[in-house]
Amino acid sequence: MSDANRVLIFDTTLRDGEQSPGATMSHAEKLEIANLLDEMGVDIIEAGFPIASEGDFAAVSEIARQTKGATVCGLARANIADIDRCWEAVKHAKSPRIHTFIGTSPLHRQIPNLTMDEMADRIHETVTHARNLCDNVQWSPMDATRTEWDYLCRVIEIAIKAGATTINIPDTVGYTAPRESASLISRLIETVPGAGDVVFATHCHNDLGMATANSLAAVEAGARQIECTINGLGERAGNTALEEVVMAMKTRHDIMPFTTGVDTRKIMHISRRVAAVSGFAVQPNKAIVGKNAFAHESGIHQDGMLKNPENFEIMRPEDVGLAATNLVMGKHSGRAALRSKLNELGYELADNQLADVFVRFKELADRKKEVFDDDLVALMRDASNDPAAEHLKLKFLRVVCGTQAPQSADITLTVGGVDQQATAQGDGPVDATFNAVKALYPHGARLQLYQVHAVTEGTDAQATVTVRMEEDGVLATGEAADTDTVVASAKAYVTALNRLRVRKEKLGGKDTREVSYKDAG
């Protein structure tokens, strides 16, 4: 296979993906996801927007230091201060990249209030400055798909002459269609002087549900970098989903003879981790990573699958890191079996970690007839809460609910190492529980999201609860699983409050939204 057919995977989960309202990740979570992306084999990790906040700068800088294989990229607006701050963060990487952008469409030119000529001068100045700092510079004309053709060609030529090595073409608002996406890329490569010396990239949003199709069409037309996120996370309807474009090229290699460096067997694990840390659950019918992607309920389908899986599956579950068979664990399973199963699911545990998880597993197995793969994933999510954020701990909970009696919750919390008890009423058991927590730990945080979904089927299924809290611009998400939905709700609520407390302390009370900016796609 020629190198000309090698497609670079540029993952922006930690930058564009994190811009989804409520998807803010902690420092430790960003480092974890960056490490998983690096291990999976993505080519470029866009680690964040360094000038946005001290927290973002610290995360990008640490990711740059720890990443072993991937290029580490930071985002910068078209001004010198942004670019300098970006370089300070990424310069520690083995392979650093500066990604600078400006909106070039008529609508976006109005934001900085620049004329066409003034913007052209700004592009030349800032790309030149970035290239003087770093050999690897990416430039994006934001809202490229709604930019006048002649002007788009003009500014791309300026960026190339100023030293940009990658030209990204963002469909910022998900406006284009596959035929247009392909045409735009091919025309730019044919028309713009110097286009043959740079890599063209595509960055598509999913507002009309065509992000994957638009990205693949751009690749067929000559783009050799796809900007994407895990689970399609991103603003509004999201970005191109990494798992979709990678598996599309792998599965339909007959008509799309392109290769990537991604180890697809790691897709399912990182999908689950991104869902957990972002608080954005994957919809069951989501392509590749959805719960139902490899499930078959129809009798005709089941019969066909038993005779030959290829009747109804165009991909093997193992290819995306999903166990081909679901080995059911139970209360008689031992540590060796648990370790083996967790290894299959992508978790490698030290002996002390396994000992802790094994205790939790046995407790769960005593309450459930069967413990499935998804139960173990939920168990691992529940066990991965930041131990540094345990100011509050749930010790005891009893609720009273029904059609006649008032809904009430009797709760005991460990607050800063001291057990405290309270009873409160509310509009239902969950509301009563949250009111009881607030009585013991007064706060001004606002509940932004409360979400429940069953991990597996059956009346003894675990419920995974996601809670998102906001106070003074600081966001925190908590997630917990339990066979009792109210207990899971209390655990998630307490976890969110713990994380909110830690983040506010680190910020010294500052609002996290220190910089107002538009994304580069």
Summarize pLDDT for 14-42 with one digit per residue, the tens.
999 888 777 778 888 999 999 999 999 99
Q: How confident is the model at residue 302 (pLDDT cuts 50, 70, 90)?
A: very low
At residue 478, the pLDDT reads 86
For 45-59, 274-288, 445-459, 488-502, which range has the lowest pLDDT when averaged over its residues?
Answer: 445-459
Which residues sit opposite 452 in a β-bridge? 465
Instruction: Count other Cβ atoms within 10 Å, centred on residue 32.
Output: 17
For 70-74, 177-181, 271-275, 352-356, which range has the lowest pLDDT when averaged over its residues?
Answer: 352-356
For 183-192, 254-263, 388-397, which range has the lowest pLDDT when averaged over its residues?
Answer: 388-397
Residue positions forming the annotated binding site for Mn(2+): 16, 203, 205, 239
Q: Is 201 a residue whose pLDDT tops 90?
A: yes
Helices (H), 227-334: 242-251, 267-278, 299-307
Tokens at 431, concatenated: 């509301």
Q: What is the mean pLDDT of residues 458-479?
A: 84
At residue 79, the pLDDT reads 96
CB neighbour burial string for 120-159, b if at least 16 within 10 angstroms, e if fewer: bebbbebbbbbbebbebbbbbbbbbbbbeeebbbbbbbbb
Which residues sit opposite 411 in a β-bridge? 397, 422
Tokens at 337, concatenated: 């079996």
In one letter, which amino acid is 2? S
Q: How confident is the model at residue 303 (pLDDT cuts 50, 70, 90)?
A: low
Task: Quote the crossing angle between the two packed helices 485-507 and 54-66, to the nearest 10°.
Answer: 100
Give the DSSP letter string of 31-95.
HHHHHHHHHHT-SEEEEE-GGG-HHHHHHHHHHHHH-SSSEEEEEEESSHHHHHHHHHHHTTSSS
Q: Is 466 a residue whose pLDDT tops 50?
A: yes
Query: What span, in angstroms and rounded, lies between the C-alpha atoms of 364 and 354?
Result: 15
At residue 199, the pLDDT reads 98
Instruction: State the pTM of this model.
Output: 0.77
What letter would DSSP give residue 453? E
Nearest to 469 by CA among 489, 455, 485: 489
Nearest to 466 by CA among 484, 488, 483: 488
**Domains of the chain as residue ranges with CATH:** 3-278 (3.20.20.70), 294-325 (no CATH), 327-371 (no CATH), 387-507 (3.30.160.270)
- Token pair 């981790």 is found at 273
Query: What span, in angstroms and rounded, lies between the C-alpha atoms of 356 and 359?
Result: 5
Tokens at 122, concatenated: 């700004």
Residue positions forming the annotated binding site: 16, 203, 205, 239
Nearest to 167 by CA among 131, 204, 199: 199
Tokens at 111, concatenated: 């934001």
At residue 512, the pLDDT reads 42
Nearest to 178 by CA among 153, 198, 208: 208
